[in-house]
Amino acid sequence: SSSAPVNTTGKSDTPLRGDYSAMAADYTVPQGWEKITAEEHARWRTLYERQSALLPRYAAPEFMESLARLDARDGVPHFDRASEVLHKATGWTLVAVPGLLPNDVFFNHLAEKRFPVTNWIRRADEMDYLVEPDVFHDFFGHVPLLMHPVFADYLQAYGRKGAEAEAHGGLERLARLYWYMVEFGLINTPQGLRAYGAGMLSSRGETQYCIESPEPNRVGFNLERVMRTGYRIDDYQETYFVLDSFEQLFQATAQDFAPLYAKLAALPDLPADQIQPGDTVFTAGRKAA
Ligand code: HBI
Ligand code: FE
């Protein structure tokens, strides 16, 4: 159903910013790299340098290693050139899109190892926060981990779950899995917790908050717990989930989700600001303590 793109930002009255007029049936568009202005490249460099300064202290090592291989420091990356590097690493390629896509279109791209990257960059007055993902969120936030074989395989497996979720009323649960474990995931390392989620690492404030703040809960990843926990789209997360490894996340998608959706349909949702019995607690947030 390639209907008008659903604005998944949760703000139904916010018109989508991108230009959806010239898109293909799969919502892809030309990137238009040659039309990017020097000012936009400079905005990219500002965002890139600002976030890169935070990575050694806050980011998972796998994220930093992969970002370096993408050679994206000098300006907005040329997606086709980046796709050559990415394809060698994990078989994925990037496709340019005007912005948020309907769930079915988005899932289908992931299932076929194509990552949709928005083809516009935020305005100068949106450097710290913007409602919809732009090229900096999508590329700087998401593409580095697509270079990591296990995480890349997880994301393809996640995409393949899309049709099943649509058929079994599991879309919101699958969206929570993406939100908590692709956008806002933490991973445990010998040096302590580190951020790998795209939503954190493309945001100066949340990169620091997710590791340093006493406010949020930080609890061990558990598939059912994540699928039952609501989330907010317009503020820092109240709970972050922690992986032991990316393998753990990949294994979680190895199972059939249909019986899980049926089981969870009979259980109440869980609030995002509470610790639950059975949680593996890394830190109890200020509210929950
Ligand atoms: N579209 N371009 C784009 N990027 C996303 O990350 C995205 C999307 N559409 C839907 C969506 N994410 C989430 O609702 C997923 O959970 C499906
Ligand atoms: Fe994202």
Calpha distance 220→217 (Å, rounded): 10
| Ion ligand 2 contact residues with beta carbon within 5 A | 133, 198
Please give the distance, rounded to the nearest whole angstrom, from the Cα atom of residue 200 to the centre of ligand 2.
10
How would you classify residue 6: left for phi > 0, otherwise alpha for psi between -120 and 50, otherwise beta? beta
Which pLDDT does position 15 carry in this prediction? 74
Residue among 26, 100, 172, 226 to mutate when testing ligand 1 (max atoms within 8 A of CB) = 100
135 C-alpha to center of ligand 2: Å?
A: 10
Q: What is the distance between the alpha carbons of residues 286 and 38, in angstroms, rounded to a whole number?
A: 44
Instruction: Note the pLDDT tens digit of each residue in 89-140.
Output: 999 999 999 999 999 999 999 999 999 999 999 999 999 989 899 999 999 9
pLDDT, tens only, 176-188: 999 999 999 999 9
In the chain, the amino acid numbered 111 is A
**The residue to which tokens 């259980």 are assigned:** 267
Ligand 2 centroid to residue 202 C-alpha, Å: 9
The DSSP result for the chain, as a single string, is ---SPP-TTS-TTS---S--TT--TTS-----GGG--HHHHHHHHHHHHHHHTTHHHHB-HHHHHHHHHH---SSS--HHHHHHHHHHHHS-EEEEESS---HHHHHHHHHTTEEEEES----GGGSS--SS--HIIIIIIIHHHHTSHHHHHHHHHHHHHHHHHHHTT-HHHHHHHHIIIIIS-EEEETTEEEE--HHHHT-HHHHHHHHH-SSSEEEE--HHHHHHB---SSS--SEEEEES-HHHHHHHTSS-SHHHHHHHHTS--B-TTS--TT--EEE--TTT-
Here the tokens at position 124 are 């100068």
Q: What is the spatial distance between Cα 240 and Cα 225, in angstroms, rounded to a whole number?
A: 12
Whose alpha carbon is nearest atom 2 of ligand 1? Answer: 100
Q: Which residue type occupies 125?
A: D
What the block records as the tokens of 239 is: 């709970």
What pLDDT is recorded for position 2?
Answer: 41
Cα 177 to Cα 195: distance, rounded to the nearest angstrom: 16
Please tell me whether 183 is known to bind a ligand. Answer: yes
CA-CA distance, 205 to 161, in Å (whole number)?
Answer: 32
Q: Distance, CA 101 to ligand 1 centroid (Å)? A: 6
Q: What does each C-alpha distance from 61 to 92, 156, 184, 186, 243 come to in angstroms? A: 21, 22, 16, 12, 14
- Residue by residue, pLDDT tens for the chain (289 residues) are 344 565 655 544 567 899 999 899 999 999 999 999 999 999 999 999 999 999 999 999 999 999 999 999 999 999 999 999 999 999 999 999 999 999 999 999 999 999 999 999 999 999 998 989 999 999 999 999 999 999 999 999 999 999 999 999 999 999 999 999 999 999 999 999 999 999 999 999 999 999 999 999 999 999 999 999 999 898 999 999 999 999 999 999 999 999 999 999 999 999 999 999 999 999 999 877 6
pLDDT for the residue 3: 45
Q: Ligand 1 pocket: which residues have CB below 6 Å?
A: 8, 97, 100-101, 103, 106, 116, 133, 175, 178
Residue 39 annotated as binding site: no
ipTM value for the complex: 0.97
Nearest alpha carbon, ligand 1 atom 15? 175
Q: What is the pTM of this model?
A: 0.95
Angle at 47 between CA 285 and CA 26, to 5 degrees: 90
List, by residue number, the catalytic residues: 137, 142, 183, 202
Backbone angles phi, psi at 177, to 5 degrees: -60, -45
